[in-house]
Amino acid sequence: MKILGVTGCPTGIAHTFMAEKALKEAAKELGCEIKVETNGAIGVENALTAKDIQEADAIIVACDKNVDMERFNGRPVIDVSVTEGINHAKELIQKCIDKKVPIRKGNVKISNYNQGEKVSFGRQIYKHLMNGVSHMLPLVVAGGVLTAISFLWGIYSFDPTSPQYNVIAATIKEVGGYSMNLMVPVLTAFIAQSIAGRPGMLAGFVAGMIASATGSGFIGGIIGGFAGGYFTQFVVNLLRNLPRQLEGLKSIFIVPIITVLVVGVGMILLGGPCSMLNESMMSFLEGMQKSSPVILGLIIGCMSAFDMGGPVNKAAYVTGTMLLAQGNYLFMAGVSAACITPPLIIALAATFKKDRFTEEDRTAGLINYVLGCTHITEGAIPFAAKNPLKVIPVLMAGSSISAIATYIMKVEVPAPHGGFLILGLVNKPLIWITCILLGSAIGAVLYVLVTPKVEVAIAGQDVGVVNDVEKNEIKHDSQKNDLYKENTVCMNLKSKTKQDVINEMVELLDKNGILNNKNEFKKEILEREELSSTGFGNGIAIPHAKTSAVKIPRVAVGISKDGFDFDSVDGNKANLIFMIAAGDDDNDLHLKTLSHLAQNLMDDEFVKEILNSKSKKEIVQLLSR
């Protein structure tokens, strides 16, 4: 089965590639071929071609930013958030395998992988907003860091009348200023572009420029983006029935003039009220820095660690960047500290309390030192996802302590990103590090207190507590050893047709006590074959069923030197059949067995070893190793 994936998150740094990895690992586990297009910070990579889309059995779009969906019209498409792609990759792949994916028609989107529903209005708003934010952030980071670098020559090094004046510093700050000044226009333009495409971008840019000029700030920019996008969409739909001969006139003359005029006039009229609202909000936040640093730090810490890169986190971050553009470096210091803390909590816990982590998780936990120090909060997500009700409050508490300490100590951070890489730009670097480590250390202690020990059984001895994931793995390993037995191996099948071979294999399972009801089991096998033949080609067939008619999980093996017909995809006869019998409660075992068999049997040498085996015992040893 061939599946395509598309992943993308607002920043294009972590979630995009975490979803890509999760989908690839799930596809590999379930025996599917997958190609994933990533919409990251550096652009589109591994782009899907028209041929890819045409040949795909299903397409999974796990994005929180706008991507071209029209190319998937007429194809089976699942459209979910990037978080769903990370946390539910296996369910999404299984849905594709089960052929339960709705066909995309026109502008209809599927928002839930369990149901074929239209995208909710709230999710549409969020995706449009995040499209603007994702295009704005690189400008903010570049402009903020360049402005901060100019301060290395002195805080007034850009002022020709100051003794600190330096022409190089002044030039760098000027360039950074231009980048920062584009922040609101780009935000507004790409919100509108997400709604109405390229025509919407024109009105969006104008609305953004007016928002900047009138002091409306990002509040006015957001309003202008949505107003420009939806009004442009309305105008385009209104003019849809114009003769095709007027298409050029419509796109470069009628639509731009109408949309720019109406949206522009509206933004000028809204400029005063939006400016007052923006200034009031900024003044309120600045006032909290002085009067209520504890409350402000608590709010920022909880927002930053609640969804770690999601919309709540982004709300705090974007507010910090807006204040940064107005010269407020105190607010951003708390936001950065709160974003750096969660991965450091995980890293410290993995360092000093190894018994709370599996070996694989501990390695991933230590990598969080690098992620945390470079302001990548998303490194803590996999650990929070395993126990969200306990771990997320711990991360929020640690981030809040870091932010509160930063505000109390009046640390200033003039750059919006970079973590400890920008320490040279911080007014109190050692104090800032201490504030972050304080929150991280307390968070690590709390993490250890709320998470149980994770120990595995070694050499048959029970060593403490085994977590649920490892219990499932141990259970699977023990079951796997019982899947292949000599009494359910046939070295010389007599049947030559598909129906007869299935009957012979079912009888083999039944007479050895594997089945409760052979007729019910055979019915399940045949119903599965009606969906599509399990004759996979290369001389192999793997019929399978999961039903209460199975008493003991087992894989029956049959060999035919002359071959038998099994409706194989390559049209050739099959020589090997593996009939998987799994009970209702053996879903994980069923899927893993099917996946492992499919992968191993792609190895021609392995298949030859089975066909050339001299005894049933040798076959069982080959399959069980």
* DSSP secondary structure, 428-462, as one string: SHHHHHHHHHHHHHHHHHHHHHHS------BTTB-
Q: Is the pTM of this model over 0.85?
A: no
**Rounded to the nearest 5°, which phi and psi values hold at 5?**
-130, 150
pLDDT for the residue numbered 310: 61
Look up 544 and say whether it is catalytic. Answer: yes
Query: Which residue reads 């589109």 in tokens?
Result: 44
Domain 2-119 homologous superfamily, CATH: Response regulator (3.40.50.2300)
| Chain Cα centroid distance, residue 230 | 28
pLDDT for the residue numbered 457: 37
Q: Classify residue 512 by its DSSP letter.
A: T
Question: Where in the chain are the domains?
Answer: 2-119, 123-287, 292-450, 480-624
- For all residues of the chain together, what is the average pLDDT? 81
CATH of 480-624 given 3.40.190.10, 1.10.10.10, 3.40.50.620, 3.40.930.10: 3.40.930.10
Q: How far apart are CA 339 and CA 395, in angstroms?
A: 10
Query: Which residue reads 């024109």 in tokens?
Result: 202
Look up 63 and say whether it is catalytic. Answer: no
Catalytic residue among 9, 274, 302, 373: 9
Residue 234 CB contacts under 8 Å (≥ 6 apart), including other chains: none
Q: How far apart are CA 32 and CA 21, in angstroms?
A: 14
pLDDT for the residue numbered 471: 43
Q: How far apart are CA 303 and CA 501, in angstroms?
A: 61
Q: Which residue positions in the chain have pLDDT lower than 50?
A: 107-117, 456-480
Catalytic residue among 15, 88, 375, 544: 544
Q: How far apart are CA 264 and CA 208, in angstroms?
A: 9
Residue 329 CB contacts under 8 Å (≥ 6 apart), including other chains: 412, 413, 414, 427
Residues 3 and 96: beta-carbon distance below 8 Å: yes
SS3 137: helix
pLDDT for the residue numbered 109: 38
pLDDT for the residue numbered 259: 93
Query: Which residue reads 């109390």 in tokens?
Result: 408
The radius of gyration computed from the CA coordinates of the chain, to the nearest angstrom, equals 30
Residues 107 and 77: beta-carbon distance below 8 Å: no
SS3 567: coil
